[in-house]
Amino acid sequence: MSTFIVLLGPPGAGKGTQAEILAEKTKLAHVSSGDLFRENIKNQTELGRIAKSFMDKGELVPDDVTIKMIKDRLVRPDCETGAILDGFPRTPAQADAFEVILTELKGRVDLVPYITASEEVLVARTGGRWTCRAHGHIYNQTYNPPKQSGVCDFDGSELYQRDDDKEEMVRHRIRVYLKQTMPLVEYYRKAGRIIEIDGMQAKEKVTAIVLDALKNSGSRRDFSAEM
């Protein structure tokens, strides 16, 4: 049976960082819904064109389109033994649809790490983010500042702050995420899959907690040798 991990956490909690680390350590594919949308739109797939038509109007992409993208991604060879999901599911309805997909794939959700942090820490991590205009290198004025203020270390291009990285917008995104995600947290809590983790700890500690929980999750796959 394939192993699937669903990562939950507000912007700035370290979810993306943990997804990359865990994918390397477990040899499971990292499936990011954001990356999947960008890939489909860039490649002008039918699903990408449909998704873009909604996004261009500032509307949410319908669940059936998102779910089809996810399903198409999970049948690729690199997901044969499972995957780490980042950004999907977002609602109990999507989680129900995900369960249907997993039944077809003979897989299951073994663990749902929910990474948390205080709003002030989330704002400091996300609100202080600056992006390089040339190649998109990311900096943080508190945690990873450039050597020279306003200039990229790698290519010397100007650094700018995206609108959604500004403090007011960051606080709004965090509150919206928490409001929308709590029903999903309860969904997986009732299923006995949630493990809540303090994301204010060192990233190595967070990784260790997730890996330890995975070993004790009842997964049919033995990860001990790979970790």
**DSSP secondary structure letters along 34-71:** HHHHHHHHHTT-HHHHHHHHHHTTT-PPPHHHHHHHHH
Kindly state whether residue 104 falls inside one of the protein's structural domains.
yes
125 as an active site residue: the answer is no
73 as an active site residue: the answer is no
Instruction: State how beta strands 107-116 and 2-7 pair.
Output: parallel
Cα-Cα-Cα-Cα torsion 47, 52, 55, 56, nearest 10 degrees, comes to -160
Sign of CA dihedral 142, 147, 148, 151: negative
Residue 220 has pLDDT above 70, yes or no: no
43-54 b/e (C-beta count within 10 Å ≥ 16 → b): eeeebbebbeee
Order of strands, sheet of 159-160, starting from the edge strand that comes earlier in the sequence: 138-140, 129-132, 159-160
Question: What are the residues facing 82 on neighbouring strands?
Answer: 3
- The total number of structural domains that make up the chain: 1
Residue 70 CB neighbours (<10 A): 21
First-to-last CA distance in the chain?
A: 19
Kindly state whether residue 224 falls inside one of the protein's structural domains.
no
The active-site residue out of 162, 203, 205, 220 is 162
Amino acid at 27: K
Output the pLDDT for position 1.
Answer: 77
Give the gyration radius of the chain's Cα atoms. 18
Kindly state whether residue 67 falls inside one of the protein's structural domains.
yes
Output the pLDDT for position 129.
Answer: 87
Token reading at 51 = 């998704």
Kindly state whether residue 220 falls inside one of the protein's structural domains.
no
129 as an active site residue: the answer is yes
Distance CA 78, CA 74 (A): 8
pLDDT per position as a tens digit, 177-202: 888 899 999 999 999 999 999 999 99
User: What residue numbers bound the domain in which 206 lies?
Assistant: 2-215
Residue 221 has pLDDT above 70, yes or no: no
pLDDT per position as a tens digit, 90-141: 999 999 999 999 999 999 999 999 999 999 999 988 888 899 999 888 899 8
The active-site residue out of 15, 68, 73, 125 is 15
> pTM value?
0.85
The active-site residue out of 68, 73, 125, 129 is 129
The active-site residue out of 68, 90, 125, 193 is 90
Residue 148 has pLDDT above 50, yes or no: yes
Kindly state whether residue 221 falls inside one of the protein's structural domains.
no
Residues constituting the chain: 227
Kindly state whether residue 70 falls inside one of the protein's structural domains.
yes
Reported as type and span, the H/E element at residue 195 is strand 194-198
pLDDT per position as a tens digit, 18-53: 999 999 999 999 999 989 999 999 999 999 999 999
The active-site residue out of 73, 125, 173, 193 is 173
For residue 145, say if its preceding peptide bond is cis, omega within 30 degrees of 0: no
CATH number (domain holding residue 56):
3.40.50.300
173 as an active site residue: the answer is yes
108 as an active site residue: the answer is no
Question: What are the residues facing 3 on neighbouring strands?
Answer: 82, 108
Kindly state whether residue 227 falls inside one of the protein's structural domains.
no
Kindly state whether residue 205 falls inside one of the protein's structural domains.
yes
